Amino acid sequence: MAVDLLERWMHSMPVLDKGFIRFVDCMPRNVAEGETMDDAIVRAARVSYGKGTLRVTNDRGLIRYLMRHRHTTPFEMAEFTFHVKCPIFVARQWMRHRTGSFNEVSARYSVLPEEFYVAEAHDVRRQSLLNKQGRDGAFEAGEANDILFAMRSNMAQTHAEYHHLLGKDLSRELARTVLPVSTYTEFYWKVDLLNLLKFLHLRTHKHAQMEIAAYGFEINGILSWLAPHTMEAYQDYWVEAPSLSSGMWMAVLRTISESDRKAMVDVFKSMDAGRREVREFAEMLGIDEE
């Protein structure tokens, strides 16, 4: 099963209209032998070799503890390499995550093919009035199709001009400057798990641009199998956990009675939370938990 999934991910998974993402490699490479990347994180955290005699449930608890208390160094011990094909405007957002290593196709050396990103009609939307970097509000079908026609025409024209300039023996490094940011590019990306989670947290957020989010969701699916305990903890403590200021938290505590706080701890216990986490929750609420 492990080998079958790895082989599937090592084939290009389509994203957007002409893009893809392909899982290339990971370190350590014991996944096909029945391990997960969680095992590497646990070994690093314990500074020992092998899994020893500890149970999987203890491994899960340790990973949740590390994530909850921001002891993040062990998550840097797992690394991944991906091959990505995406529009240039997506790549520029991607490469703002400078903690990874990138190697991108060079248009100084290579002639770029005529491949441009064109949005689906239902994704052609108006400028959001609330979010200056987002879209909101649909066009009528006829308007959307007119916009897409204009965009395709412009892209075809710029690519024709690109080849016209190359035909005049203009250098590739200058001819490429006429191409739009919708042009597809490719790159290899190597990144550790901690910084990959930071990428996912930002780029799959509801306010992220949908084009880069599409790649993030594919990566999320891969990691959910390769590092299930880590992704469970990431979901619980990063994605779904509220972020409160000290003032917000004090307002919560001043509103809730002591009996209600105790009831909250009891409810949390019933949710199969670990004893350590229950104790920490009780401490946050100012309740003595024996």
Which pair of structure tokens corresponds to residue 79? 């690394």
Sign of the Cα torsion 187, 193, 196, 200 reads: positive
The number of C-alpha atoms within 13 Å of 284 and in the hemisphere containing its C-beta is 13
d(CA 112, CA 185): 8
Long-range pairs of 104-110 with CB within 8 A, sequence gap ≥ 24: 104/185, 104/186, 104/187, 105/185, 105/186, 105/187, 107/172, 107/173, 107/176, 107/179, 108/171, 108/172, 108/173, 108/176, 109/172, 110/172
Q: Is 203 a catalytic residue?
A: yes
One-letter identity of residue 265: V
* Candidate list 135, 203, 276, 279, residue with the active-site label: 203
Which residues face 103 on adjacent strands?
188
Instruction: Of 18, 23, 27, give the one whose Cα is nearest residue 7.
Output: 23
Q: Catalytic positions, please?
A: 203
